[in-house]
């Protein structure tokens, strides 16, 4: 889990297109690659939007993460956590 968070943090800070690299790698796999039908431009556009949200609008992203975490805590304590 910590490796994933570290990789995500590095990708956000350094603006590395990590999702696009993973999609390209999966496209090259013999059995799976032919079933992946994402356009590179669409993946890049999605990553650009994620960078805008995660870097330029940090406050809104932090508020969302906090509210999501609080919701999970309350759901867990009320017994409706899934």
> So what's the pLDDT on residue 25?
92
> So what's the pLDDT on residue 68?
60
> So what's the pLDDT on residue 50?
79
Q: Tell whether pTM > 0.85.
A: no
The per-residue b/e assignment along 59-76, b for 16 or more CB within 10 angstroms, e otherwise, is eeeeeeeeeeeeeeeeee
Residues of the chain under the 70 pLDDT cut: 1, 56-82
Q: What is the pLDDT of residues 51-62, one digit of tens each?
A: 777 776 666 556
DSSP 22: H
Domain ranges of the chain: 2-78
């Amino acid at each position: 889990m910590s490796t994933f968070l570290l990789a995500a943090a590095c990708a956000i800070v350094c603006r590395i297109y990590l999702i696009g690299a993973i999609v390209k790698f999966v496209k090259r796999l013999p059995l799976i690659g032919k079933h992946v039908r994402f356009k590179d431009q669409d993946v890049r556009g999605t990553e650009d939007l994620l960078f805008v949200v995660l870097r330029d609008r940090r406050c809104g992203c932090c508020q969302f993460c906090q509210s999501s975490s609080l919701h999970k805590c309350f759901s867990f304590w009320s017994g409706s956590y899934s």
